[in-house]
A and B are shown apart, each in its own frame.
Chain A
Amino acid sequence: MAGELIATEHEDWRHFVGKALRNRSFMAGALITVLVVAVALVSFVWTPYDVTKLIIADRLQAPSGAHWFGTDHFGRDILSMIMVGSRNSIAVALIAVGIGIAIGVPLGTLAAAKRGALDEILMRASDIVFAFPALLSAVMITAIFGPGAVNAVIAIGIFNIPVFARVARGGALALWPREFVLAARASGKRAGLITVQHILPNIANLLVVQGTIQFSLGILAEAGLSYVGLGTQPPAPSWGRMLFEAQTMMAIAPHMAIVPGVAIIVTVLGLNLLGDGLRDVLDPRLRRQR
C-alpha cells in the first residue's frame, strides 16, 4: 500500500518542468529563494558599505538615500549587514541539513535494509533524541560548549539526524518489497549496492522535500540561538543577533528590529513555499501522507 506513495520511475523532465511552472507555490518559493541566495552570493564581492568598519559617529541613522535601511548602533549600514548576514543564516542551516542527511540517511536506509535488532536500536535512539526539547537542548549545547556558529550548526544538526533517518527509513521500507528491488535481490546484489542503486534515487524526492523544511527550520533556529546570544558571534553579522541588538533600541531606531525580522520572514516563507511546491511537483500523491 504505502509503496504506491513513492514514485518509482524517474519522472519525465519535461513533464516535471511543466508542472513546476504551473505551480504557484513552487514558483513564488523558488523566486524568493533564488533571490536570497543571489543576495548572499553578491555580498561576497560587493556590499554598499564595509561591515567591518565601525563609524560610531554615523550611528542609529534612519533609512535614507545613503543608507536604504538605515544604520545600526555602531554606524554600520544595515542593508550591507543583511546581505552579509544572509550568508551566515544560509550556511548554518545548510550545513545543519547536511549533517542530518550525511548521518541520518545512511542510518535510516541501513535500518530499513537490515531490519531486526539494529532497526529497533536505531529507532529507539532516534526516539530518545526526539524526546529532548530541541530548542532548549540547542540552547544548552551552545551554552555549555561555547556560543558560536560552529556549535550552533552542531546543535541544530543533531536534531536533524533522526528526522532524516526516519524519512529515509520510511521511504526505504516501502521500496524493499517492490518488484524491481526484489529482482535486484534475486540477481544476487548485496543490500548496500541495492540501497545505492535503487533505493536512494527513489527516496531522493522525499529527502529534498524534507531538506527544504529542515532548511527553513534551521534558519529560524539559528535566528533564535543568535537572538539569545548563543549563535553566530560578532563581528560576523547575523540576522538573529541584529534582532537581539535592536531590541533595546526599538523606541529610538525601530528599523533596526524591523529589517532583520522581515528578512527572516521572507526567507523562511520562500523556503516553505518552495518545499510545498516541490512536494506537489515531485509527487502529488505525497500530499496524502500529511
Chain B
Amino acid sequence: MLSYALRRIVIVVITLLAASVVVFAVLEIVPGDPARLMLGINATDDAVAALRQQMGLDQPLVLRYFAWIGGMLSGDFGRSYTYSVPVIDLIRERLVVSLPLALMALALSTAIAIPVGVFSAARRGTAADTGVMAATQLGIAIPNFWFAILLVYVFAIALRLVPAGGFPGWEAGIGKALAALILPAIALALPQAAILARVTRSALLDVLGEDYIRTARAKGLPARLVLRRHALRNALIPVLTILGLQFAFLLAGTIIIENVFYLPGLGRLGFQAITQRDLIVVESVVVLLVATVVIVNFLVDLAYAWADPRLRRR
C-alpha cells in the first residue's frame, strides 16, 4: 500500500510540473504587453519601459519560470500585475466564494440526485422510472447559464426574493452571503444532479444484479430493505467517483455562472486576468485548479486501492 501511494505521489508531482510548464509556456507567448495595457493609449514608450522594469518583465523567460515555481513552493505566488497585491491574497479572497459555492452545489446535487436515483432504481421499468429518466435527460441538456438567466429573472427580478448577483462578503452575515449564492448553486446543481441521479440508478441496478443481492432476496428479505441495506452501500463507489470529479469541475467550471451572477470567484479571476494580461494570476489560478483535480483524483485512487487491494498492482 505504501509503495503504491509513493508511486502515485511521484506521478502527481510529475503531472503538476508538466502542467506548470505547459501553462507558463502557453501564456508567455500570448500577444499583448501588460505594461502597455496598464498605462493606456496615451502613455509614452519610456513610461511603459519603466513599468516593465518595475514589474520584472525584462527578465529572461527561464529565470521567470523558476522564480515563479520556486515562489509557489514556498507559498509566495508573486504579485498581481494589475492589482499589485500578492496573488495568494487574491486567490484566498476568491476561494471563500468559489469553495462554498462548489460545496453548496455539490450538496444540493447530492440531496436531489441520490433519492431520485434510488427511487428510480426501485421502480425500474415503471412509468415513474421512465418519467424520472426523461427528466434527467432534460436536465443534462439544459445549458446551465441559460437556466441561470431564467432563475435571475424569476427569483431576483420578478419576485425579488434574492439578489440578482454579486457577493456581499461573509462579513455581511451568513444569511446574506448564502442568499447571494443560492441561485448560482441551483443553476450549477441541476445538470450535475441529473448526471448523478443516472449514475446512482445504474450503479444500483448493477449491484442489484450481483449474486449476493440475489442471495439476500432469496433469503426473503424485503426488496426495499435489500436496496437500502446492501445495494446502496455498494453502489456508493461509482457515485463517489462522480462526486469527486464533479467537485473539481464545480470549482473551476463555474466561470460562466460566475459571469452571469458577477460573483467574485476563482473562475472569473482567471477570466479577467487573462483579458488584462495579468499572466502571473492566470498561471497561478490554472496551476492551482490543476493541482486540485490531480489531488482529488489521487485521493479517490487511494481510497479505491485501500478498498480493493487488486488495484494496487496497476
In the complex, A touching B (Cβ < 8 A): yes
Binding site for B on A (CB under 8 A): 124, 127-128, 130-137, 139-140, 143-144, 216, 220, 223-224, 227-228, 243, 247, 250-251, 257, 261, 264-266, 268-269, 272-273, 276, 287-288, 290
Asked whether, in the complex, the Cβ of B206 is within 8 Å of the Cβ of A288, the reply is yes
Interface SS majority for chain B: helix
Q: A133, B293: Cβ atoms under 8 Å? A: yes
CB-nearest residue of chain A to B15: A128
**A220 neighbours in B (Cβ, 8 Å):** 143
Name 22 interchain pairs, CB-CB below 8 A, sorted by A.
A127-B11, A128-B15, A128-B18, A128-B19, A130-B293, A132-B289, A132-B293, A133-B253, A134-B253, A140-B270, A140-B286, A144-B27, A144-B274, A224-B256, A227-B256, A243-B143, A243-B146, A257-B146, A257-B149, A264-B141, A265-B143, A273-B137
The reply to whether A137 and B141 form a contact with Cβ atoms under 8 Å apart is: no
Chief secondary structure at chain A's binding surface: helix
Residues of A within 8 A of B138 (CB): 265, 269
Is the beta-carbon distance between B252 and A133 smaller than 8 angstroms? yes
> Is A261 a contact partner of B15 (Cβ separation < 8 A)?
no
Interchain nearest-CB distance for B21 vs A (Å): 10
Contact (A272, B146) CB under 8 Å given A136-B270, A144-B26, A144-B27: no
- Can you name the residue of chain B whose Cβ is closest to the Cβ of A24? B130
Residues of A with C-beta under 8 A to B157: 251
Once the chains are docked, how many angstroms separate the CA of A290 from the CA of B282?
A: 36
Q: Is the CB of A261 within 8 A of B146?
A: yes
Give B residues with C-beta under 8 Å from A. Answer: 11, 14-15, 18-19, 22, 26-27, 30, 137-138, 140-143, 145-146, 149, 153, 157, 199, 202, 206, 248-249, 251-253, 255-256, 259, 267, 270-271, 274-275, 282, 286, 289-290, 293-294, 297
Cβ contact within 8 Å between B206 and A135: no
Q: Which of A130, A135, A287 is close to B256, meaning CB atoms less than 8 Å apart? A: A135
Whether B270 contacts A250 by the Cβ 8 Å rule is no
User: Among A127, A128, A140, A276, which residue has its beta carbon within 8 angstroms of that of B282?
Assistant: A140
Residues of A within 8 A of B249 (CB): 133
Most buried by A among B145, B270, B293: B145
Closest to A217 in B: B140
Decide: A139 and B255 in contact? CB cutoff 8 A: yes
Are A124 and B14 CB-contacts (below 8 A) given A135-B255, A268-B141, A269-B141? yes
